[in-house]
């Protein structure tokens, strides 16, 4: 592609120039978790773009819209540049993963009137399977081949729109054309950036080739450094490519300048934030960037022992933008990584938005002088006054010098503001986009604003953001629509949200929303805060007190109402920005159900309970302590250690029988807990991960440690809860519950439910079933008839001991429970059926599962194993991460073993057929609990069971925030509550 083909140079033209100069230079390097998964040179990038571009040209005309539906990575990059090279308009969209994303996806497809849709290799593979199944075997094999309702809906919509589809496959060996001729004009649209923003429906920003070139030159100039040429710069990015910062700063800018970009999937960063700094250190990266929360997350989640392995002296600029910038965050990041060579002057606070392509202002000097302390009281009245040491102040962070004409304007009268007066930020530049696609009204409002007192200056872009200029630097204060005014004073939601987020570790970071609402004709602040999934409800009242204490301390304000909600309740854009107005609407429409609600009239009292802390001489103290007091002493120490690593207040009461994950310990905190304890124990005991999985709470761990330490007077067993291959028993009342875990599972799956039932007075039995339980069994090839015989014998023994016996089970354990009820219809009091699995038709069942009979009905079943894969039956990300670590080491976890023999799967299928024939014999009360998103067995299983059994009392509960292992996932408390209520109800009937 020669430059003569262009009447106006484009981004891809720049890439061609770099390819001609240095064809074998690496353009992009791709990282998957902690390993490099591939790279592409400038020469190979152009080759693949030409090939795909040629195919696009056969199907489109210049300026046709092309949906780019691809996962982050090489396919996305090739698809994007192929659109630019052919003069078509790229519309980057994230492949939809749920119903909400699907609705947005389809809304945009309809709005943009696309002519073609590009799918990446992974997405196209799924759709090809679904298309073939839908076309040739619409009923018989759909469940087996996992044609999800989501994919079916997408396929049907694509048929209705008659969109042409094209699959990106960079792995193909092809001989593409040497160039693609398209005479590009500067005002031609390069791509449409769809953004939800914080306050409105998705709007498509029309970014032209001229916009891209202008903004790229601005960014390049701002990042120039005397230490390195721009072509030698290496960028590290984990940001999603569907939004301006990830696409332009992470993908376009590095190759525009002729450098190299290291690409890490966003999810890999979220799972382990330390990967960010590890990657910068390993690949000697010079440029990086992210929103404010990412710097805080990385600083908090990077283990201390990793710092000595890092060298961040290579980093020259770290952009901080896309959301309000906090000085404390940059200080935290610097103080954490200074010992790893991080220079203080690398921070590049900046401001921008999609409507200006990306960058508006930035601090290119990289000096320490990036803050401005202002009078806190005056700021509330929209006035800026510098303050001294004695004055109560707010520290604002500069977003740097404007890189384009910029005005601060009164949003009400549209006159330019006076010096040091807060107003709306208006900008004017070749970087300002053309407008919104197919939305002339919003385009007129946002892109064609004029100053009332100086209309001849031309059109400005109204950003909707508030700020002021001081010494020719921009300070951003918030957004117009999100301003909170209480008794004539202004409060910025992000300041309130930041304070609340630091009120207690149980509050999820970046998951707090503040907005104004009316309370008896008075404006008041409402705080909506997501609490961690494992937070104990008994702490909710205490949390609300801490929130208001923090607000009083930091903001001089008290919230009128505080709503604690489950994780992922607060709506966000796909780039992670809070949608405050939408959240308020959902709350007012009762579409978000709070876990706990506090109002100013509520009378809450603090619960300050004493605690005991031991010194580090743990072993000597325990040895000198009397035998009867050792358990309490050790438990108290472990409780205090949990508080310290989880940053819990001293007065926090920790239940010794609550799992570590439920105490707010994330993976990094858990490692700190484990390492600290190991140092205290020395070489007396080796604390493997297996120890913690078998003893997943303080009481059990304490018992295990005292047993292993073997002091002079060892403590007798209370119960063998740490032995996975023995029967588990909790003594309670006359109503006993027999619980059966899943195939190749462990009692850990049911332990949370068992303990809670026992606390309510029920006796609990969890039997070990030979040849059925976790794979370490000596006798693994046991037919299902022996499983039935084993549990039947166990049930009969319980009937002799207890007045009433109910039976429950998870997954295949629920099928065994149904078999017992069919065998003993008059003796089983009730059934608790959790995630029944008659049909393996969940969304994560492999498409090739229909081939399983080839193994089942041949000797292969004795030699082959099914390997467990994510999500391991768990939706909760922290729990899943811990499980994943164990599964990768071929160990077991709370969800069972890392592999299951095909012989057992074969016997489970035989058991299913056996039980199906006798379902009509079941007439006892039945509680059925199933997750709507069960990845192993869909809710079809519950509907089938509900139809077949003859019970008069049948209750069905569908969970909305869990996967298959409902007893250990986000909704486990709902499982407990529903089970207890059900058991109480059937006793009174």
DSSP string of 769-787, one letter each residue: -TTTSSTT-S-----HHHH
The CATH classification number of 484-599 equals 3.30.300.30
Considering only 201-215, 601-615, 638-652, which range has the smallest mean pLDDT? 601-615
Considering only 373-387, 436-450, 465-479, 558-572, which range has the smallest mean pLDDT? 373-387
- Per-residue exposure over 395-419, b if at least 16 CB sit within 10 Å of its own CB, e if not: ebbbbbbbbbebbbbbeeebebbee
Q: Where in the chain is the domain with CATH 3.30.300.30?
A: 484-599
85-130, pLDDT tens digit by residue?
Answer: 999 999 999 887 655 567 778 888 888 889 999 998 777 665 554 4
Please give the pLDDT value at position 159: 66
Report the relative pairing of strands 728-730 and 763-766 from DSSP bridges: antiparallel
718-738, pLDDT tens digit by residue?
Answer: 333 344 556 788 888 889 999
Counting Cβ atoms within 10 Å, is residue 368 exposed (0-12), middle (13-18) or buried (19+)?
exposed
CA distances from 820 to 258, 937, 960 (A): 69, 21, 29
Report the relative pairing of strands 865-867 and 831-834 from DSSP bridges: unpaired
Distance CA 158, CA 162 (A): 6
More confident site: 385 or 858:
385
Distance CA 768, CA 779 (A): 13
For every residue of 692-738, which 3-state class applies, written as one string? Answer: HHHCCEHHHHHHHHHHHHCCCCCCCCCCCCCCCCCCEEECCCCEEEE
238-267, pLDDT tens digit by residue?
Answer: 999 988 899 999 999 999 999 999 999 988
Please give the pLDDT value at position 196: 53
Please give the pLDDT value at position 804: 92
Provide mean pLDDT across the span 536-555.
80
Please give the pLDDT value at position 756: 85
Q: Cβ(563)–Cβ(528) under 8 Å?
A: yes
Of 495, 469, 505, nearest in space to 557 by CA: 495
CA distances from 852 to 38, 196, 957 (A): 33, 44, 31
- The confidence band for 199, taking pLDDT boundaries of 50, 70 and 90, is very low
Distance CA 434, CA 413 (A): 25
Please give the pLDDT value at position 777: 43
Distance CA 203, CA 879 (A): 37
Distance of CA 617 to the CA centre of its chain: 40
407-434, pLDDT tens digit by residue?
Answer: 999 998 999 998 888 999 999 999 999 9
Report the relative pairing of strands 203-208 and 189-195 from DSSP bridges: antiparallel
The mean predicted confidence, pLDDT, of the chain is 81
Please give the pLDDT value at position 46: 93
Distance CA 801, CA 272 (A): 50
The listed CATH number (2.60.40.3080, 3.30.310.10, 1.10.1200.10, 3.90.1150.10) that belongs to domain 618-709? 1.10.1200.10
Positive or negative: CA dihedral 412, 416, 421, 425: positive
Distance CA 289, CA 302 (A): 17
Provide mean pLDDT across the span 326-351.
92
728-844+912-988 carries CATH number 3.40.50.1820: yes
CA distances from 559 to 147, 162, 283, 555, 564 (A): 47, 52, 46, 11, 13
Provide mean pLDDT across the span 671-696.
77
- The confidence band for 544, taking pLDDT boundaries of 50, 70 and 90, is confident
- The confidence band for 334, taking pLDDT boundaries of 50, 70 and 90, is very high
Of the chain, the percentage scoring pLDDT greater than 70 comes to: 79
Query: Across-strand partners of 959?
Result: 931
DSSP assignment of 3-61: GGG-SS--HHHHHHHHHHH-TTSEEEEEEETTEEEEEEEHHHHHHHHHHHHHHHHHH--
Q: Where in the chain is the domain with CATH 3.40.50.12780?
A: 3-271
Please give the pLDDT value at position 721: 35
Of 909, 981, 923, nearest in space to 952 by CA: 923
Q: What is the pTM of this model?
A: 0.55
Please give the pLDDT value at position 738: 95
Please give the pLDDT value at position 732: 84
- The confidence band for 557, taking pLDDT boundaries of 50, 70 and 90, is confident
Provide mean pLDDT across the span 398-415.
92
Tokens read off for 569? 């309740």
More confident site: 414 or 615:
414
Of 861, 778, 787, nearest in space to 819 by CA: 787
Highest mean pLDDT among 669-678, 683-692, 966-975: 966-975
What dihedral angle (degrees, nearest 10) is formed by the CA atoms of 844, 848, 852, 858? Answer: -150
The CATH classification number of 3-271 equals 3.40.50.12780
What dihedral angle (degrees, nearest 10) is formed by the CA atoms of 589, 590, 596, 601? Answer: 50
Tokens read off for 865? 């194993």
Provide mean pLDDT across the span 711-717.
44
Of 226, 244, 510, nearest in space to 353 by CA: 244
Check pLDDT > 70 for residue 807. yes
Considering only 115-124, 476-485, 628-637, which range has the smallest mean pLDDT? 476-485
Distance CA 111, CA 123 (A): 22
- The confidence band for 2, taking pLDDT boundaries of 50, 70 and 90, is very low
Q: Cβ(957)–Cβ(927) under 8 Å?
A: yes
Q: Cβ(539)–Cβ(533) under 8 Å?
A: no
Check pLDDT > 90 for residue 201. no
CA distances from 841 to 130, 864, 872 (A): 14, 21, 15
Distance CA 269, CA 221 (A): 28
- The confidence band for 567, taking pLDDT boundaries of 50, 70 and 90, is very high
Check pLDDT > 80 for residue 146. no
Q: Where are the beta strands (DSSP E) in 818-925?
A: 831-834, 865-867, 892-893, 896-897, 899-901
- The confidence band for 138, taking pLDDT boundaries of 50, 70 and 90, is very low
- The H-or-E segment that residue 798 falls in is helix 784-801
Please give the pLDDT value at position 608: 27
Tokens read off for 137? 């075997």
Q: How many helices (H) and strands (E) does the chain have?
A: 31, 38
Provide mean pLDDT across the span 629-646.
79
Report the relative pairing of strands 116-119 and 164-167 from DSSP bridges: parallel
HSE-CB for 355 with a 13 A CA cutoff: 23
Please give the pLDDT value at position 511: 94
924-964, pLDDT tens digit by residue?
Answer: 999 999 999 998 888 999 999 998 998 888 999 999 999 99
Distance CA 633, CA 625 (A): 8
Check pLDDT > 80 for residue 669. no
Tokens read off for 180? 């693609």
Helix, strand, or coil here: 123?
Answer: helix
Q: Where in the chain is the domain with CATH 3.40.50.1820?
A: 728-844+912-988
Check pLDDT > 50 for residue 1. no
838-884, pLDDT tens digit by residue?
Answer: 888 888 776 555 455 555 555 555 555 566 677 878 888 877 877 77
Residues 6+ apart with CB under 8 A from 757: 732, 737, 764, 976, 979, 980, 983
């Amino acid at each position: 592609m020669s430059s003569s083909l262009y009447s106006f140079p484009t981004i891809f033209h720049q890439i061609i120039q770099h390819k001609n100069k240095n064809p074998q230079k690496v353009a992009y390097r791709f990282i998957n978790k902690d390993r490099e998964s591939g790279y592409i040179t400038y020469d190979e990038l152009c080759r693949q773009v030409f090939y795909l571009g040629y195919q696009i040209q056969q199907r489109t005309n210049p300026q046709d819209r092309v949906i780019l539906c691809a996962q982050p990575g090489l396919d996305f990059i090739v698809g994007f540049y192929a659109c630019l090279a052919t003069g078509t308009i790229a519309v980057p969209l994230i492949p939809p993963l749920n119903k909400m994303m699907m609705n947005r996806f389809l809304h945009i497809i309809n709005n943009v009137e696309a002519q073609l849709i590009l799918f990446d290799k992974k997405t196209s593979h799924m759709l090809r399977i679904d298309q073939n199944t839908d076309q040739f075997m619409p009923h018989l094999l759909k469940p087996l081949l996992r044609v999800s309702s989501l994919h079916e809906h997408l396929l049907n919509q694509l048929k209705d729109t008659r969109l042409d589809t094209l699959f990106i496959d960079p792995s193909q060996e092809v001989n593409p054309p040497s160039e693609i001729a398209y005479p590009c004009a500067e005002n031609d649209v390069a791509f449409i950036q769809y953004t939800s923003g914080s306050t409105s429906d998705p709007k498509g920003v029309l970014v032209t080739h001229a916009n891209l070139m202008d903004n790229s030159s601005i960014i390049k100039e701002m990042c120039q450094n005397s230490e390195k040429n721009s072509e030698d710069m290496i960028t590290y990015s984990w940001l999603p490519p569907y939004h301006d910062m990830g696409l332009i700063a992470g993908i376009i800018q590095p190759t525009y300048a002729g450098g190299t970009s290291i690409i890490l999937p966003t999810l890999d960063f979220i799972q382990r934030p330390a990967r960010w700094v590890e990657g910068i250190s390993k690949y000697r990266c010079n440029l990086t960037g992210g929103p404010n929360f990412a710097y805080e997350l990385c600083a908090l989640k990077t283990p201390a022992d990793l710092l000595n392995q890092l060298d961040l002296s290579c980093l020259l600029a770290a952009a901080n933008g896309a959301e309000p910038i906090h000085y404390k965050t940059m200080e935290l990041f610097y103080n954490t990584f200074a010992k790893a060579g991080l220079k203080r002057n690398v921070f590049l606070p900046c401001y921008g938005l999609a409507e200006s392509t990306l960058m508006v202002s930035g601090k290119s000097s990289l000096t320490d002088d990036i803050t401005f302390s202002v009078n806190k009281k005056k700021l509330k009245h929209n006035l800026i006054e510098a303050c001294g040491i004695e004055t109560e102040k707010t520290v604002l962070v500069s977003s740097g010098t404007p890189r384009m004409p910029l005005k601060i304007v009164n949003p009400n009268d549209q006159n330019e503001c006076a010096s040091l007066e807060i107003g709306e930020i208006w900008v004017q530049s070749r970087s300002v986009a053309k407008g919104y696609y197919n939305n002339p009204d919003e385009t007129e409002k946002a892109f064609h604003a004029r100053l009332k007192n100086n209309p001849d200056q031309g059109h400005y872009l109204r950003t909707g953001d508030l700020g002021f200029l001081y010494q020719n630097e921009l300070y951003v204060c918030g957004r117009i629509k999100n301003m909170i005014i209480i008794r004539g004073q202004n409060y910025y939601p992000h300041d309130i949200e930041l304070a609340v987020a630091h009120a207690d570790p149980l509050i999820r970071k970046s998951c707090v929303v503040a907005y104004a609402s009316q309370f008896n004709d008075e404006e008041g602040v409402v705080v909506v805060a997501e609490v961690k999934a494992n937070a104990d409800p008994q702490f909710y009242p205490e949390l609300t007190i801490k929130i208001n204490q923090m607000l009083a301390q930091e903001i001089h304000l008290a919230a009128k109402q505080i709503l604690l909600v489950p994780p992922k309740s607060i709506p966000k854009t796909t780039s992670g920005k809070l949608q405050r107005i939408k959240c308020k609407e959902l709350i007012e429409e009762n579409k978000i159900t709070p876990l706990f609600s506090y109002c100013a009239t509520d009378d809450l009292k603090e619960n300050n309970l004493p605690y005991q802390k031991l010194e580090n001489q743990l072993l000597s103290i325990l040895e000198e302590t009397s035998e009867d007091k050792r358990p309490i002493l050790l438990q108290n120490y472990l409780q205090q250690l949990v508080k310290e690593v989880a940053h819990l207040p001293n007065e926090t009461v920790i239940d010794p029988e609550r799992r570590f994950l439920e105490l707010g310990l994330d993976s990094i905190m858990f490692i700190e807990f484990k390492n600290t304890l190991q140092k205290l124990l020395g070489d007396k005991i080796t604390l493997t991960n297996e120890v913690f999985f078998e003893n997943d709470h303080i009481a059990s761990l304490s018992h295990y440690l005292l047993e292993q330490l073997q002091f002079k007077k060892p403590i007798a067993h209370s119960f063998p809860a740490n032995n996975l291959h023995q029967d588990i028993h909790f003594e309670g009342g006359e109503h006993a519950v027999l619980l059966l875990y899943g195939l190749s599972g462990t009692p850990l799956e049911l332990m949370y439910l068992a303990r809670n039932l026992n606390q309510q007075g029920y006796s609990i039995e969890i039997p070990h079933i030979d040849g059925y339980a976790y794979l370490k069994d000596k006798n693994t090839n046991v037919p299902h008839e022996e499983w039935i015989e084993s549990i039947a014998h166990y049930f009969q023994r319980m009937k002799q001991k207890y007045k009433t016996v109910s039976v429950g089970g998870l997954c295949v354990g629920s099928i065994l429970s149904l078999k017992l009820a069919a065998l003993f219809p008059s003796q089983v009091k009730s059934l608790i059926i959790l995630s029944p699995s008659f049909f393996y038709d969940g969304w994560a069942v492999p498409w090739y599962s229909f081939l399983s009979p080839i193994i089942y009905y041949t000797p292969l079943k004795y030699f082959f194993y099914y390997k467990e894969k994510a999500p391991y039956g768990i939706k909760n990300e922290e729990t899943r991460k811990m499980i994943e670590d164990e599964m990768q080491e071929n160990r077991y976890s709370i969800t069972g073993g890392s592999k299951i023999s095909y012989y057992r799967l074969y016997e489970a299928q035989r058991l299913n057929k056996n039980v199906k024939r006798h379902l009509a014999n079941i007439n006892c009360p039945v509680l059925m609990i199933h997750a709507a998103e069960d990845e192993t067995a869909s809710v079809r299983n519950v509907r089938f069971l509900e139809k077949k059994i003859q019970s008069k009392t049948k209750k069905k509960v569908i969970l909305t925030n869990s996967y298959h292992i409902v007893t250990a996932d986000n909704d486990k408390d709902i499982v407990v509550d529903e089970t207890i209520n059900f058991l109480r109800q059937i006793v009174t009937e």
